[in-house]
Structure 1
Amino acid sequence: MLRRAMIAAAFAAAALTGLAVQAGDEGPSDLEIAHIAYTAGEIDIRYAHLALALSDNPAVRGFAETMIRDHSAVNDAALGLLDKLGAKARDNPTSRSLLKQAAEKRAELKALSGAAFDRAYAENELAYHQFVNKTVEEVFIPAADNEEFKALLGTALKTFKIHQAHAERLVEQTR
């Protein structure tokens, strides 16, 4: 439990520090938020594909399939809104930092197998969703200017909170 909390704190500190440095007093722009959120979704989709490749555990595989389906749907909705608005998400240091951290975590997970992989994947998913949910709720939604985008983030947050609860159960199942 302590290890999981430390992982979540490390993710949150790194990402939120990046947001504060990048955004100054006003918070990140909608286009920066869009890129960070899209990147975070793609990272979780990659974790899920890794789980499908490495796990034989039906609960882990089911969770991974849900992550691919739901995060792909949210990312597709975000891209659709950007297209509608004639805008393009803006790459930023926070997105790049998340990608770097995720590559390191994927390498760590790839070195595991069996129950050790399942447990590490479940713990990572819980920590990741705790981080994403806190960031979306406390940073992204308050900073978003466009009402449609703000609503999309709110809808996504509801889904991600369900993922967090599911990940909590998965952690218990893989102990």
Structure 2
Amino acid sequence: MPHFTKLAFACAFSIFGLAAIAQDTVGALSDPEIAHIVGTALKEEIATADLASKTTTDPTIRVFAQATSRAASRAHRTVDDMLTTRDLQATDDPLSQSLSGAAADQRGQLTRLTDAAFDKAYANNEMLYDQMVIGILDVTLSPSAKGGRLKAALETCRAFFKLQLAGTEALARRLK
């Protein structure tokens, strides 16, 4: 089995575990915890995009990864601005920790790959990650959010991840 396929299976397994945690926390999260989760999702997106822009030899993937990093940084600033405006401090929680750990594990797997294998694994990993984050936003974070500004920030983040998903799906099709 090619290494990038193993990586995709590992990512999917992580997603199922995170989905279970997300489902268990519906309604139980505070706004500061929700802000931390979405902030973590964006930070991990930035870290993976930065890895891809440094590692890939494919100019299309490099441009995509750099654009991803810039867009995720803007979305992250939206969350930070909302926290500052509401005088809130983001609060760590098990879902943030699981999300961060799973993303770090996937980046660790990606660092072992080069060239086309890296590019395929990056595109597939990002596609699964974006789907997972959209699911967490839809099933757990948005229904649990209480503040209007947080809900607006979550919609901004959801729009970002939907655009990212479309982009990673196009990359994955191109790399097959």
How has the CA–CA distance of structure 1 residues 9 and 115 changed in structure 2, closer, same or farther, with 3 Å as cutoff? closer
Q: Cα deviations across residues 4-33 of structure 1 (Å, max 9, x unaligned)?
A: 985664343222322344x3x623221111
Aligned to 1:12: 15
Matched-pair contact (CA < 8 Å) for 2:18–2:95: yes
Aligned to 1:38: 39
Unaligned runs of 5+ in 2: none
Aligned to 1:140: 141
Aligned to 1:149: 150
Cα distance in 2 for partners of 1:11, 1:34 equals 21
Q: How many Å apart are 1:70 and its aligned residue?
A: 1.0
Aligned to 1:28: 29
Matched-pair contact (CA < 8 Å) for 2:123–2:172: yes
Cα distance in 2 for partners of 1:50, 1:5 equals 17
Cα distance in 1 for partners of 2:152, 2:141 equals 11
Cα distance in 1 for partners of 2:7, 2:124 equals 6
Q: How many Å apart are 1:152 and its aligned residue?
A: 1.4
Q: Which amino acid aligns with 1:83?
A: T
Cα distance in 2 for partners of 1:138, 1:159 equals 17
Partner of 1:122, secondary structure, is helix
Q: Which amino acid aligns with 1:44?
A: E
The question of 1:165 aligning with 2:175 is answered no
Q: How many Å apart are 1:36 and its aligned residue?
A: 0.9
Q: Cα deviations across residues 97-140 of structure 1 (Å, max 9, x unaligned)?
A: 12221221111100000000000000001000011111112211
Cα distance in 1 for partners of 2:17, 2:74 equals 26
Q: How many Å apart are 1:64 and its aligned residue?
A: 0.5
Q: Which amino acid aligns with 1:62?
A: V
Q: Cα deviations across residues 42-92 of structure 1 (Å, max 9, x unaligned)?
A: 111111111111101122112111211111011111111101111000001
TM-score (norm 1): 0.90
Aligned to 2:63: 62
Q: CA RMSD in A?
A: 2.0
Aligned to 2:116: 115
User: Where does structure 1 differ by over 4 angstroms across 4 or more consecutive aligned residues?
Assistant: 2-9
Q: How many Å apart are 1:166 and its aligned residue?
A: 0.7
Aligned to 2:75: 74
How has the CA–CA distance of structure 1 residues 17 and 167 changed in structure 2, closer, same or farther, with 3 Å as cutoff? same
| Identical aligned residues as a percent | 33
